[in-house]
Homo-oligomer: A and B are copies of this chain.
Amino acid sequence: MTFTRFIDLSGPEIERFGEDTVAVLPVGAVEQHGPHLPVATDYYMAEAVAEGAARLAGESCDITLLPGLAYTKSDEHAWSPGTLWLSARTLLSVLDDLGRSLAAGPVRRLAFLNAHGGNSALLGVALRELRTRHGLRTFLLHAALPADQGGASPAAEFGMGVHGGLKETAAMLHLHPDLVDMTQARRSVPEHLTAYEHIGFGKPVSFGWTSDDFATGNGLIGDPTGATPELGRKLVDASVSAAAAALRECARFLPDRPPTP
Contact = CB atoms under 8 A, between A and B. Distances in A.
Contacts of A38: 7-10
A75 B35 CA distance: 39
Contacts of A37: 10
Interface residues of A, number: 109
A235 interface: no
A34 B250 CA distance: 28
Contacts of A155: none
Nearest to A107: B81
A181 interface: yes
Contact of A199 (B32, B80, B86, B139): B139
A196 B67 contact: no
Copies of this chain, whole number: 6
B10 A255 contact: no
Contact of A11 (B32, B85, B256): B32
Contacts of A89: 89, 92-93
Nearest to A216: B256
B125 A198 contact: no
Contacts of A7: 30, 38-40, 43, 70
A94 B80 CA distance: 19
A11 B219 contact: yes
A150 interface: yes
A168 B9 CA distance: 16
A240 interface: no
B39 A12 contact: no
Nearest to A70: B67
Q: Which 6 A-B pairs have the closest CB atoms?
A: A81-B105, A131-B208, A121-B124, A11-B32, A7-B40, A138-B208
Interface of A: 5-15, 17, 30, 32-40, 43, 66-67, 70-71, 73, 75-76, 78, 80-90, 92-94, 96-98, 101-102, 104-106, 118, 120-125, 127-132, 136-142, 145, 150, 176, 179, 181, 184, 190, 192-193, 195-199, 204-210, 213-215, 219, 242, 245-246, 249-250, 253, 255-259
